[in-house]
Amino acid sequence: MIEPSLPVMRAIRMVLVLVVLAPRPAWSETLAPAGRGKILLTRLCGHCHSVGKSGASPHSAAPPFRHLDRRLDLDTFHERLRQGLFSGHFDMPQFRMSREEARAAQAYLRSIQGR
């Protein structure tokens, strides 16, 4: 039987360590879309907007997300998130979401409307 050389064994160990210690996504496959959307929107938007079911927005001009259905059509909002959300506000960042992220954000937004 041929034994691997010491450098090969070290490389294999390093790969195994990296695989074991690699960060897992914050939203695992087992988390429902609304849960993933809450995590995403809190991270991206929570500095200015109230993203929960209650509470005021940290930025007074930023509308609470629980009332967005009064201002826009949530049925098509995921498309705006995918294309790139741009606002007339100079202090709002511009960003684009993947299809999965946009659907998750939409699911969460629907779950908190009218509260």
Residue 61: per-residue pLDDT = 87
Residue 78: per-residue pLDDT = 86
Contact 81, 105 (CB under 8 A): yes
Q: What phi and psi, each to the nearest 5 degrees, are found at residue 103? A: -65, -40
Token pair in block for residue 111: 């779950």
d(CA 9, CA 1): 15
Between the alpha carbon of residue 24 and those of residues 20, 27, 57, 98, 111, the distances in Å are 10, 8, 30, 18, 26
**To 5 degrees, how large is the angle CA 14–CA 20–CA 22?**
95
Superfamily of domain 26-112: Cytochrome c-like domain (1.10.760.10)
Token pair in block for residue 12: 């294999």
Residue 24: per-residue pLDDT = 57
Q: For the chain, which residues make up each domain, given as ranges?
A: 26-112
The pTM score is: 0.70
Low-confidence residues of the chain: pLDDT under 70 = 1-4, 6, 8-9, 15-30, 86-89, 115
Contact 45, 77 (CB under 8 A): no
